[in-house]
Structure 1
């Protein structure tokens, strides 16, 4: 992915700037508002938390990364002749890489807009299919199947005798990240938006919809940063 490679290269280049810097470690917790890149879906609310690492230059450039557990996915309704509803709650270990610029607003108050990329690995979650036997009909009862690991393929029954394969979600996910962080002393309030660029599931394509499914996720978090 060319965009991701350029962002990583920029991060390494900035590390060699002849400017004094300081490391900051921190922790944050918040909520995820996740969805996917199709219109017919409902946003899910999940938990977010982890450790942060910042490298703040004296010239106000700020590099940030960390390790987080984040919940993504959506309650997605395929409103066409395929006639099924897909629920997916996907837990990832995520590592972002961001470059920002710290803007002083007042004494001990800074705003830091940032841009970068994220890389995630699926570790847990749940999933559920609700499949209509005759196509999309909101008044018809649905055949329901559940699976405890959405990152592993399994078979489910659409009728008493018909068995189909539920395709696993891709474990690896990546994309762009845009953020805005407000610091009041050592307390931080952050907003980040993940724009997934990787196809997270091939089930729609196999069913004939030919639509790549990609993660979309907004994170609101509060944290605390320790000066080193």
Structure 2
């Protein structure tokens, strides 16, 4: 459902990425800002000739590994430190699943009601979305200042799908290929508020390989505030 919604929104806005933020830079105290990387909500699939997506476990595992490496690099370049949720929480499973589902739901709402066509009149254009008390509890558990959530779905056309694309092109029609779609959020753990959000959409890219994965992460975090940004 979410990839379909993102592809629909692509027709409304042509930008490769669309972001919004409420802070110009990360808060700095006596140490550099610490960002908690939540478990990545990433899935890679093959797009069949019939247009169905079939998840690929090995591709997904490789993509997560590559993205974690690239995310650490990008955050370091912004003068902050990145720690994985699994490394600092003793029993992470239950809370991680709940927060992942909450972020997905709130992210979907942002896509629909802030970046999409169904704006909420009561908000009057303000970006004031939150993950609430669940996110605030992460501060005491991890001593982090922010949490970074990432949602990505990436699909790759099968041989049959490519053949169909070629055949339909000869007939003057088009058939879509694979698509890379997703969004990321930075959450202030003192308030639970989302202070930065970016939507990514691309018809190119390959998360199965480290260098293309770095390019995707660079686009996904392109506007992420840093400790020294203005």
- Normalising by the smaller structure, the TM-score range is under 0.3
TM-score computed with the length of structure 1 as normaliser:
0.25
Q: TM-score, normalised by structure 2?
A: 0.25
